[in-house]
Amino acid sequence: MSVRFGDLAIESEIDLPALSHSTEAPGCRIRLGAPGLPLYEDQRWDHHWRTPVGDIVLSCGRDGDDYRLGVPWLATFVIRDGATLVECRPEMDLPPETLEHLLVDQVLPRVLTHRGRLVIHAGCVALPGGAVGFLGNSGAGKSTLCAAFARGGDPILGDDGIVLARAGEFGFHAMATYPGLRLFPEPVERILGRATASTAVAHTTEKRRIGLSEGAARAVAGPVPLIALYVLAAPEDNASGAQLSIRRATPRDALVTLLRGSFQLHLDDPERSREQLDRIAALADTVPVSVLRYPRELSRLPEVIEAIRADVLALTPASSAGSACS
Q: Residue 80: in which H helix or E strand, if any?
A: strand 75-80
Res 219: pLDDT = 78
The rounded distance, in Å, linking the Cα atoms of 114 and 87 is 16
Q: Which are the contacts of 112, defined by CB distance < 8 A and separation ≥ 6?
A: 5, 6, 8, 119, 163, 177, 263
Least confident residue range of 15-29, 56-70, 71-85, 168-182 = 168-182
What are the tens digits of pLDDT across the range 275-287? 999 999 999 999 9
Task: Indicate the domain borders of the chain.
Answer: 2-115, 119-320
Res 39: pLDDT = 82
Among the residues of the chain, which ranges form H helices? 96-102, 108-114, 142-151, 185-187, 251-260, 270-286, 301-315
What are the tens digits of pLDDT across the range 205-250? 999 998 776 455 677 877 999 999 999 987 555 555 568 999 999 9
What are the tens digits of pLDDT across the range 11-36? 999 999 999 999 999 999 999 987 66
- What is the DSSP track for 256-298? HHHHHTB--S-TT-HHHHHHHHHHHHHHHHHS-EEEEE----G
The rounded distance, in Å, linking the Cα atoms of 120 and 283 is 11
The rounded distance, in Å, linking the Cα atoms of 240 and 194 is 25
Distinct helix (H) and strand (E) counts, the chain:
7, 21
The rounded distance, in Å, linking the Cα atoms of 187 and 323 is 30
Res 217: pLDDT = 65
CA 228 to chain CA centroid, Å, is 16
For residues 34 and 87, which has the higher predicted lDDT (pLDDT)? Answer: 87
For Cα atoms 246, 248, 252, give the angle at the middle one, nearest 5 degrees: 140
Counting beta carbons within 10 angstroms of the beta carbon of residue 55, is it exposed (0 to 12), middle (13 to 18) or buried (19 or more)?
exposed
For residues 218 and 120, which has the higher predicted lDDT (pLDDT)? Answer: 120
- What is the DSSP track for 299-323? GGHHHHHHHHHHHHHHHS-GGGTT-
Res 141: pLDDT = 87
**Positive or negative torsion for Cα 238, 244, 249, 255:** positive
**Cα→Cα distances 155→131, 201, 215, Å:** 10, 21, 12
The rounded distance, in Å, linking the Cα atoms of 107 and 89 is 13
Q: Which CATH architecture has domain 119-320?
A: 3-Layer(aba) Sandwich (3.40)
The rounded distance, in Å, linking the Cα atoms of 306 and 90 is 44
- Three-class DSSP category at 41: helix
CB atoms within 10 A of CB 152: 14
For residues 149 and 270, which has the higher predicted lDDT (pLDDT)? Answer: 149
Res 233: pLDDT = 85
